[in-house]
Each structure stands twice: as C-alpha cells, then as structure tokens.
Chain A
Amino acid sequence: MGQPLTLAPLTARARRGLVRWRVGEIVARFRAGTGRKAPAAASLPLPNTAAERPLFALRGIGKTFPGGVTALADIDLDIHEGEIFGIIGRSGAGKSTLLRLLNLLERPTAGGIAFDGHDLLALDAAELRTRRRRIGMIFQHFNLLSSRTVAGNVALPLELAGASKAAIARRVDELLELVGLAELRDRYPAQISGGQKQRVGIARALATHPRVLLCDEATSALDPETTQSILALLADINRRLGLTIVLITHQMQVIKAVAHRVAVLDAGAVAEIGDVADIVTAPRSAVTRTLLRELIGDEIPASVRERAARLAADGNGVVWRLAFRGAVVDTPLLAELSAAHPVATHLLHGYIDEVRGVPFGSLVALVAGENEHLRAAAGFLAARGVRVEEV
C-alpha cells in the first residue's frame, strides 16, 4: 500500500491532466468523499453587490463531452432570486446538461458559474456537498428509493446532512403536509401514482431548505391533469416560500403556465432570453416560433393550405398569419381592416390566450385584394402592432 499504481491506463490519464492517485488516497477519498479539485476557471467578472447579484451567474459556459460532442457553447445567463426561470429547447439542445451544471453534476469545460456569489468551480468536494444542500433537485423519473417509504425518502437528505432523529421527524411531517401527502407517509413508491411520486420528490428536494429548486423535465412523465397540479404546486411554493425555481422542459405549455423568464436553447446556445410574456407573444427566433406552434396549433392542414393557395392565385390574395398581443386583442381587427381597405378576409384559424396577464393571439387568414391594397393592408396592420407573416 502507499505505492503509486503505475499501470499504463493511469499514465494515459496522467497525460490527459488527471490526477494520479495512490491506493491510500483512494480509500481516504472514498471515506471522506473528497473528489479531485477542478482546475480553477478564469476569474469571473461578476457583479458583487448583493442587490444586483443574481442567484446564479453563468459566464461563457461551454461543455464538450469526452469524444468531442459539444453540448453547450458560450452560455451567459443570470438567474435571479425568487423567479421561476424556464429553459426550453428540443431534445439534444443541451438543456439537461445546462441544468446539471447548476449543481455541478456536470462540470463545464469552459467558463464559470457563481451561486449566490460563490465561485462553484473553486469549491472542494466537501464544500460542494454543503453547497448542494442549498440546491434542491427533482427529476423526470422521480428517482425515489424503492426500498424506502414516502416518509423515508423525504427523510433521506436530512439523514445525509446529519440531522437528529427528532428534527428529521418534525421536518418530514411539515414537508408531507406542504405537498399534501401526509396520508401516504408509510406507502412505498411502487404503491403511489406518478403525480404523488413527484410530490414526494418535491418534498425531498425542499427538506434541507434550499435556495433554489432545479426541475429536470419534472412533468414530462405525467399526464396533462397531473402536470397542471404539479405546476400549480411549484408556483405555490415559489410564491409562498419565495423559492427560486429553474425548470427545463420541451413543452411551451409548462413555460407559459409557470415561468417568469425563459431562455430558449437551440443547439447548445441561447437563441433568445427574456420575459415569458415577450417571448411567447413576440418570438424572435425561428426555434421559439416552432416551439410555440405546438402550443398554438395553428399549423394549417395541407388540403386547406392548397385550397387557400388556389383561391389566392385566382384572386390576387395571400395567406397571412397575424400575430398580436395586448390591447389590439379587444378591437374588431378584421372588420376594421376590411372597412379601411378594399380587401376581403377569409379566416382559416384563430387562437387567443393569455400569458402572465398579457393577452395574445394569432389569426391565419386568406386576404384577397389587389396587390397595392394588400400592401396598404399590411401597413395598416403593422401600424397597430400586428406582426404580419406570409404563410
């Protein structure tokens, strides 16, 4: 013991810049759980006054997996205390990796992350573990221990943190009450529904009084009704406890239902970021529009599109998608359009909704008329803040 194990693969590891361990160190590390310390990232230009300091500050974050796949590149992101921050993207966009960077389940290969003003990458393993207790996490597949009851699962993080039996019992009761599962405390995960499992997951994640809750596709394995109830619970927790929530999802519905701000991720980069009301009602990037299309459902069926195209060809018309938001929702838009300009509108699809108090909607219509009148009509609509897009 104590002799360095110098086998070929180890030398290769050493060449790749990894630490070479002795057997004794491995045993010690296993008992203490101290991991290797990552090389410190370049110092971060971070805001450091508490008032403007975000809870999470990501600067120039990149993640390239061994094997050369780049999951994330040059991500800058601030997540503020008390907000529900959504990250949306298609599968493979890198959102899961991004979320796992926030508690360092994945380490970035470039850039820096600060949590509550502390450089996460500079922490040693023990400090990181303490810090992780302030960062709760829930998962798509719940990740509950099948060998423990509901109460036992909720108690787990408290046991890990070394809380006393009495303190654990008190806190578990409190948490089960909060998520409405007091009755089911002695059931095993296999005996409860998916929605209930996620409630256990939430109770477990809140056990150590975290500053933030990370949600990894938390509702993707649930039916629509259960999804709504879990989202309502998350919104409620955010309101009542002032808890910051970061959630990733591929469903715009989830973002629309609970998020305050959202980052749209595409191919490992942020396509756009902003208030949910702005992003949903006035998307700027193509990927956001595609994601919204699933929410709005204004894809025109091929047969209708063909007929509209024929009509358009016959009578100098076009098919327009009109996207609008705010007060214009309350005006008889198409009637006013026809009154002001000699064009005929034929409605193909209409949608109206509301996000964080802002009404928004879209109309897809065949608009027939002379070209010059169509141009004038487009100007009329644009003047009222309606985005006109040819379909």
Chain B
Amino acid sequence: MTPELARLLFDSLLETLWMVGVAGFFGTLAGLPLGVLLVVTDRGGLIRSVAVNRVLGAVANAVRSTPFIILMVAIIPFTRWIAGTSIGTTAAIVPLSIAAAPFIARLVEAALREVDRGLIEALLAMGATPWQVVRKALLPEALPGIVAALTVTAVSLVGHSAMAGAVGGGGLGDLGIRYGYQRFLPEVMAAVVVVLIVLVQLLQSLGDRLARRLSHR
C-alpha cells in the first residue's frame, strides 16, 4: 500500500466517522423523542392521542420509504438553507440525519414497547406524571434496547454515507467509487471494503458490549 493510498483511506475514514457521528447525534436528538411520542400517544399509551400518533407515524413512514439517494437530492434546497451549501461532507450530514431520525424512532419505539406494562402501572400507582413514567421507567428500562437500536443505526449510516459521494460528500464510499471504480484501481476498492468491514465490526461489538453492560436483567 502506498503512503498516498493510506493517507486517502485515513482521510476518508475520518470523513465517514464525522458524517456518521454527527448524523447519528442529530438523528438521535430527533428520533428518540419521536420514538417516545409514538409509544405514549398510541392506543393504551400514557397520553393517548390517535391523531398525533397517526400523523407522526405517517411522517416517519414517508421518510423511511424514500430511497436515501432520492431523499438526498430532493431536499437539496433545505440542505443549502441549513448547512449553507449543498455539496460536501457537512452538507451530506443533513439528509443523513433526516434519514436516521425516523429509523431511530421506530427502533426506539420497539425497544420501549418491550418494557413491561406492569412497570408503567406501578409508577402510575405511585402518582407519577406521564413524563416521570417516561424518564424514570421507560427510558432506563429500555436503555439496553436503545443502545442496540443506535448501534444498528450507526451501521446503517455507514452504508448510507457511502452514497454521500453523490453530493460530493466524501468518505469511504466516495473513495471506493471514484478511485476504485471510475479510475479502475481494484486495490483501492478492496482496501475500502476491508476498512468498512472492520469499522462495522467494531461498531457492532462496541454497541453489543455497552448494551450488555447496561442490562441488569
């Protein structure tokens, strides 16, 4: 491996980590509350509201059913408004965050539904407000599940970020396409794939370990 290739790989890895990290952060910021709302507003939830639940559910489904490459292009004006530019790594973070949020919301929703209803009943019997039930019971009890959900999201963001090259986003995927495919350098392609595999393995085992540590079941 030439030093130039190593340098390229390293820079691209950093770009990928930057995109995944920041998009994961903003995705969680929006997705976690959305997931909580989807659970508490549902039938039998803490603050039942079928209307709110349906609207939120429909929005989440709409975003999730739009292919990422289309989503990325479709929201370019919005991206430009938020990030000041529509090309580059930072610009790619906007559609990545938007794609991650409903993904996280649905996974968080599933994790929260795993929490025993008896616990919610116990907290209500103690005189807890719905917000206290969420904060003191639902979120702590579902935390291992939420960590697992975020791990899945991170891995899926690594995949999505490979498409960021379409808006000049950089990262490992972009490196693979431009050098490996377009310039026909198979060793670059191979190196990119190996780095991606190692990255995903690391993310997954890190998430698994954290989830295990947090679980006291």
Contacts and interface: CB of A to CB of B under 8 A. Distances in A.
Given A160-B128, A190-B217, A26 B47 contact: yes
Interface residues of A, number: 42
Interface in A12-70: 13, 21, 23, 26, 29-33, 35
22 contacts: A5-B55, A10-B51, A29-B130, A30-B40, A32-B129, A35-B47, A105-B125, A128-B127, A129-B127, A137-B122, A139-B121, A141-B118, A143-B116, A145-B119, A145-B137, A145-B141, A147-B140, A147-B143, A157-B126, A160-B136, A161-B127, A208-B127
B132 interface: yes
B49 to A, nearest CB: 5
B130 A33 contact: yes
B129 A129 contact: yes
A311 interface: no
Given A132-B125, A208-B126, 12 more contacts: A7-B55, A30-B40, A33-B131, A105-B125, A132-B124, A133-B126, A135-B125, A139-B121, A145-B140, A148-B140, A160-B126, A204-B126
Contacts of A145: 119, 136-137, 140-141
Contacts of A7: 50-51, 54-55
Contacts of A229: none
A203 to B, nearest CB: 13
Secondary structure call for the B interface: helix
Contacts of B50: 7, 9-10, 13
A103 B126 CA distance: 10
Contacts of A189: 216
Contacts of A139: 118, 121-122
Contacts of B126: 132-133, 137, 156-157, 160, 204, 208
Contacts of B132: 33, 160
A147 B216 contact: yes
Contacts of A35: 47
Interface in B137-175: 137, 140-141, 143
A306 interface: no
Given A13-B50, A21-B49, A156-B136, A133 B127 contact: yes
Contacts of A380: none
A159 interface: yes
Nearest to B132: A160
A139 B119 CA distance: 10
A109 interface: no
Nearest to B53: A9
B129 A33 contact: yes
Sort A-B residue pairs by CB-CB distance and give the 10 closest, nearest first.
A33-B129, A143-B122, A132-B127, A129-B127, A188-B216, A143-B118, A147-B140, A5-B51, A157-B126, A137-B125
Contacts of B129: 32-33, 129
B52 interface: yes
B123 interface: yes
B54 A9 contact: yes
A93 B22 CA distance: 56
A153 B48 CA distance: 27
* Central interface residue in B40, B124, B140, by most chain A CB within 10 Å: B124
* Central interface residue in B41, B119, B126, B128, by most chain A CB within 10 Å: B126
A146 interface: yes
B125 A103 contact: yes
Contacts of A103: 125
A316 interface: no
Contacts of B217: 146, 190
A214 B214 CA distance: 32
Contacts of B121: 105, 139, 143
B116 to A, nearest CB: 7
B174 to A, nearest CB: 40
Nearest to B142: A147
Contact of B216 (A132, A146, A159, A214): A146
A133 to B, nearest CB: 5
Interface in A132-186: 132-133, 135, 137, 139, 141, 143, 145-148, 156-157, 159-161
A130 interface: yes
